[in-house]
Structure 1
Amino acid sequence: MTTEPAGRESTAVDEITDWTKGYLRRHPVASLRTVGGQVVLGGAAIRYLCTDVATGRFPVGEFVRQASFMVKTSYVPTVAVALPISATLSIQFGLLAGQVGATSLAGAASGLAVIRQSAPLVTAMLLAAAVGSAVCSDLGARTIREEIDAMEVMGVSALRRLVVPRLAACVLVAMGLTGLSCFIGFLAGYLFNVYVQNGTPGSFLATFSSFATTGDLYLAMVKSAVFGTIVAVVACEKGLSARGGPGGVANAVNAAVVASIILLMLVDVGFTEMYTILFPRTTL
């Protein structure tokens, strides 16, 4: 009676150990294969996008349908998330500025935070969650129903017909929503600073216009374009590689959202560091 539980425990430990060793052997190779597939897919999609636009073969109808769907799916969550985040940043920067005796700089601090970081990153994360999941599930359903294989057999490129318009639409929508998020963030910060924290409207606007330059807006737009490309490429690659029926599509959607958010965070850190190095602020 006392040896059987010990034997079962030893077997369970052995199974867990074997699975862990196998996972550690398989995971790096699988990760490199996935990243390589996404890089190849993204490069081919960008190349086809440029050539199709130049030659007039770009599927404008599909692009308009996808852009309209993405806007309807993501603009309400973007506004709903941008408002509280901007208000929170305004409150925190206002308290910090009050503690160091620089309340007049609250507008500059909150404005830089919204334009440089909050607006593009919030927009990209919502695109990954709302739009990326929808794109991945759509392409995944087509893949498991063998529609993609049927298109390729008929000589229709799924990459040019399905991926390229979604990529262009995601980039355009990301840039537009980033601009909307910048405006909403500035308006929320202004209202909270003036009407909640008893700030001076003129001081808020003066410091904001002095510190937030056009370069910051250009950085936000470039960020949003890159973030939109990442969301579209990851979602399309996961959808086209879905296997295993409806359960495989669900796993692909989950993997697409998680991978997109992780990549967005890493790329955002790189962008911020490179911008700080290349365009340092020499004076306040």
Structure 2
Amino acid sequence: MSAESVEAERVRSSAVEEIAIWGRGYVRRHPAASLETLGRQVILGGRAVRYLVVDAWTGKFPFGEFVHQAAFMVKTSVVPTVAVALPVSATLSIQFGLLAGQVGATSLAGAASGLAVIRQSAPLVTAILLAAAVGSAICSDLGARTIRDEIDAMEVMGVSVLRRLVVPRLAAGIIVAMALTGFSCFIGFLAGYLFNVYVQDGTPGSFMATFSSFATAGDLYLAMVKAAVFGTIVTVVACEKGLDTKGGPGGVANSVNATVVASIILLMVVNVGFTEMYTILFPRTTL
């Protein structure tokens, strides 16, 4: 075998070895790291919920911090939520109105758009806006405190970071998510009604009658439960990413980006699970 052939074989072996090393490293860095992160988030969320219940029962809940965080979340997310809920609800109303007209069931446009807004649009739009606006703000705040060693200083002084910083944000996230979801339901219903009546020449009485006939209280309960769970997911993910920040200011930016992406992915997966479980447990017998 010539020297050129030996060298070529050595290069190929080296390339294959490097690819194998990179593949093993990728498995460690991404899927395994993702499972570790999810585990930390589950543990953090469970401890935060437990401390929330215990502190509220014993009177140790930091109410002032809760009010401050809730006001900040509302101020940050209410305008974007309304700005997104209006066009989404109008689009759903237009599409359902066109579909109902094609099958000769224009009287059901109100029921279809109402169910879509209450069950899916309102809680999901609110959660996504919370992840983008509130989750990023929470992560950047806790991430900045982490890289400035404020979190370590609090632990050294005996102050529980979980109870002092995470629990009030969790409670505020749940309350604000439920309130904004209810507000989004109203905005979505109003937008659907206006578009159906004034743009698609629908009948106001028919819209109201079908909406009230098919949109039950259970749909609103489902939306509120979704909102509470979505608010918990967004807050826990943001807090975990912020407290786990490393690498200086660049690490804060990476944590914020990871918070938004991970929150939205989890929200979509959990929303599918909620929808399927509700459909199985409470099936619709008629349209």
Whether these two folds match at TM > 0.5 is: yes
Q: Distance in 2 between matches of 1:87 and 1:217?
A: 20
Q: Distance in 2 between matches of 1:187 and 1:247?
A: 43
Q: Is residue 229 of structure 1 aligned with residue 205 of structure 2?
A: no
Q: Distance in 2 between matches of 1:195 and 1:9?
A: 70
Number of equivalences:
283
Q: Is residue 36 of structure 1 aligned with residue 36 of structure 2?
A: no
One-letter amino acid of the counterpart of residue 81, structure 1: V
5+ unaligned residues in a row in structure 2: which ranges? none
Q: In the TM superposition, what whole-angstrom CA distance separates every residue of 1:137-181 from its partner, at most 9, and x where no partner exists?
A: 000000011100000000000000000000000000000000000
271, 275, 278: which one aligns with 1:275: 278
Percent same amino acid among aligned pairs?
82
One-letter amino acid of the counterpart of residue 61, structure 1: G
Q: In the TM superposition, what whole-angstrom CA distance separates every residue of 1:6-60 from its partner, at most 9, and x where no partner exists?
A: x999978865553233102332321121011001100000000000000110001
Tell me the SS of whatever aligns to 2:262: helix
Q: Distance in 2 between matches of 1:12 and 1:172?
A: 55
Q: Is residue 87 of structure 1 aligned with residue 90 of structure 2?
A: yes
Map residues 144-163 of structure 1 onto 2, 5 A cutoff: 144-163=147-166
Q: Distance in 1 between matches of 2:137 and 2:98?
A: 40
Q: Is residue 111 of structure 1 aligned with residue 133 of structure 2?
A: no
TM-score under structure 1 normalisation? 0.95
Map residues 23-62 of structure 1 onto 2, 5 A cutoff: 23-62=26-65
Q: Distance in 2 between matches of 1:61 and 1:238?
A: 24
Q: Is residue 99 of structure 1 aligned with residue 102 of structure 2?
A: yes
Q: Distance in 2 between matches of 1:102 and 1:14?
A: 64
Map residues 185-196 of structure 1 onto 2, 5 A cutoff: 185-196=188-199
One-letter amino acid of the counterpart of residue 184, structure 1: I
Q: Distance in 2 between matches of 1:254 and 1:8?
A: 38
1:199 aligns with: 202
One-letter amino acid of the counterpart of residue 224, structure 2: M
What root-mean-square deviation, in Å, do the aligned CA atoms of Structure 1 and Structure 2 show?
1.9
TM-score under structure 2 normalisation? 0.94
5+ unaligned residues in a row in structure 1: which ranges? none
Q: Distance in 1 between matches of 2:112 and 2:12?
A: 58
Q: In the TM superposition, what whole-angstrom CA distance separates every residue of 1:158-208 from its partner, at most 9, and x where no partner exists?
A: 000000000000000000000000000000000000000000000000000
